[in-house]
Amino acid sequence: MEGRTLVTATTSAFPSPYSIESVPGCEGWEEMYPYYARFDERRRETDENRFWFWNSMHFPVPMPAFDVICIDSPYQAVGSWQNRVFAVPPAMGIDYRIVNGYVYISGNPVTDPEKIAERAGFFQKRAGYYYENWDELYGKWRTKMEALIAELGELQVPDLPEYEPDDVAFGDDRNTAFYEVLDVYSRALRMGDLMWQHHFEFLLLGYGAYGTFVEFCKGHMPDIPDQHIAQMVAGIDVLLFKPDAELRRLARLAIETGVDGSFIEGRTPAEIDAELAQSDAGRSWLAELEKVKDPWFNMATGDGLNHYYCSWLDDPSIPYASLTGHIAALHAGEEIERPTETIERERDRLAQEYGELLDEEDRKPFQDLLDLSRTVFPYVEEHKFFCDYWFLTRWWNKIREFGALLAEHDFLHDAEDVFHLSRHEVACALDELVLSWATGGQALGPEYWPPIVARRNEILERFAGWSPPPALGVTPAAITDPMTIMLWGVTTERVREWARQQDGGRELNGAAASPGTVEGLARVVRSVTEIGDIREGEILVCGSTSPAWAPIFSKIRATVTDVGGVMSHAAIVCREYGLPAVVGTGRASSQIRTGQMIRVNGTEGIVTLLDGDQAQ
């Protein structure tokens, strides 16, 4: 293998990260992000020759300064497990940079074969241990996570009182508020770090096992829909379905106890609660709801690693809309329960039928991979609830409490403004706050922070109107980093698609009729009488072919036609001869000239016109 480096090409379809201009009116935006998040001139030689892609999956919106902690911590954690614990042989960790508020990432490959072999030794032993003891280790993980969430719940952001209570003066081991504020803040940050550490402990291995099953299925049945693979693996009794299951139960209860009339579309949760509170039945229904809220209302209102998403506890409009919908469906006589038996039957039927379509020798690995995937899958699904939803929504709220403290003392106009400061700036502001509280002197913070917040607010609004390119830097010949493929689904094909969008009219698309890629000179043939002109090694470009063209297929390297499907004559004959073919391009014979250099990619159905600059 030519190595896992992202091969350097002389030309790239993507812009250099150093060529991106600041969004107008946002000059100086870099100051709100860490110095190491920049495309800095001192790292140019390296950074410009790497492939960076926009991590729109986790960071779809411009990053507020505080939320950068949700880049740093996860990448510290994922790199630790991947690179330092499991030592995934070809891949270390992930670097990130920020451009106009958007996060671009790039994996660090391991290229030295000796190093890869050395790491493989660690990986096999350590990952093997996890796979063998998965259920037990995952059980312990859940205990750890639940304990951490409980600890976060107990964390109190102290007030800054005029006078400390008597306890501080007379009790043992009492701390003053200055220490408490700083301590609680740093503990909140450390708890976040710990959550991210837990988050990634199983993630790579879980995704890896599942990803291997996906690859196995696609390797043997390339067209299998992702949905079917997921259906074969997915659990029946999944934690993430629990919240809605509880809502369905509450919907039934509302009907049984006659309080369903309060759930009218268009009413806010507060209006519904107010009406319910007026009757005994309503109050007891509300009491029942209270019991359900912890933990099941710790669902997040959206996906994404930033503070904008809150939980159902903070914004109950989503669960109340579901309740109203369930009640209406029940009135209409509809079945609202998840048909678990049907789902289970379908899951087993899919597994059996796909298994039977495989060759004999592939059935055991298929079944074993399916079993392993089913073992790891609860983690893959459930970590989101524990980490991304439950912990994180509460954690953002804890940060909001510090925002409220700063706002109370006029360091900020609004608690929400805290997210415009980086975690270090918040620490700094808190330092000054407790200092000025302690000394009784005049704080500068109220003058210092609000203009910074206002400016950053304006910048983020402008950033939101900018379209980040999908990738920056050098176009890789192939994506070989297993993490990039597994976690982001960024494959060679995907990158080519992006490049194509940047490219404009140099490509023709058609049906991928016979696999393989070749480059060569085009020979445009308009009728069978011209086939005598074809030279050895040329690429046939024509309207369509018929059996009369038979003699030429041993001469040519590939075929491109205007019309025809994957079962047309040209397609069939090319598969017989092992020649790449793209058929049904619509306009190849008029677009391409004889003697032009073209590339035929029969695997993906793309014809690229290479004339001029790239013809070599």
Residues 507-546 that bind another protein (CB under 8 A): 511-518, 544-546
The strand pairing partners of 76, in sequence order, are: none
Residue 83 lies near another protein (rule: CB under 8 A): no
Considering only 224, 238, 281, 407, the residue that binds another protein (CB under 8 A) is 224
Residue 491 lies near another protein (rule: CB under 8 A): yes
Considering only 580, 588, 596, 609, the residue that binds another protein (CB under 8 A) is 580
- Name the token pair of 103: 């996060």
Residue 202 lies near another protein (rule: CB under 8 A): no
Calculate the CA 106 to chain-centre distance.
14
- Whole-number Å distance between alpha carbons of 43 and 50: 11
Residue 277 lies near another protein (rule: CB under 8 A): no
Closest CA to 240 of 448, 435, 381: 381
Of 256-264, 282-290, 498-506, 575-583: span binding another protein (CB under 8 A): 575-583
Residue 238 lies near another protein (rule: CB under 8 A): no
Rank residues 189 and 570 by Cβ distance to another protein and give the closer one. Answer: 570
Task: Provide the minimum distance between the beta carbon of 123 and another protein in the complex, in angstroms, as a whole number.
Answer: 4
Task: Provide the minimum distance between the beta carbon of 547 and another protein in the complex, in angstroms, as a whole number.
Answer: 4
- Whole-number Å distance between alpha carbons of 286 and 372: 42
Considering only 29, 51, 216, 419, the residue that binds another protein (CB under 8 A) is 216
Q: How many CA atoms lie within 13 A of 164 on its CB side?
A: 15
Considering only 147, 264, 274, 548, the residue that binds another protein (CB under 8 A) is 548
Rank residues 160 and 574 by Cβ distance to another protein and give the closer one. Answer: 574
Contact criterion met (CB below 8 Å) for 19 and 12: no
- Whole-number Å distance between alpha carbons of 445 and 442: 9
Rank residues 475 and 601 by Cβ distance to another protein and give the closer one. Answer: 601
Residue 372 lies near another protein (rule: CB under 8 A): yes
Helix, strand, coil shares of the chain as percentages rounded to 5?
55, 10, 30
Q: What is the 3-state secondary structure (H, E, C) of 179-214?
A: HHHHHHHHHHHHHHHHHHHHHHHCHHHHHHHHHHHH
Considering only 208, 445, 469, 520, the residue that binds another protein (CB under 8 A) is 208
- Whole-number Å distance between alpha carbons of 545 and 426: 71
Of 25-33, 39-47, 83-91, 268-276: span binding another protein (CB under 8 A): 83-91
Residue 123 lies near another protein (rule: CB under 8 A): yes
Considering only 97, 119, 198, 423, the residue that binds another protein (CB under 8 A) is 119
The strand pairing partners of 217, in sequence order, are: none
> What is 447-474 written as a DSSP string?
HHHHHHHHHHHHHHHHHHT----SEEEP
Residue 25 lies near another protein (rule: CB under 8 A): no
Residue 222 lies near another protein (rule: CB under 8 A): yes
Residue 339 lies near another protein (rule: CB under 8 A): no
Considering only 334, 361, 536, 613, the residue that binds another protein (CB under 8 A) is 361
Contact criterion met (CB below 8 Å) for 235 and 242: no
- Whole-number Å distance between alpha carbons of 201 and 72: 16
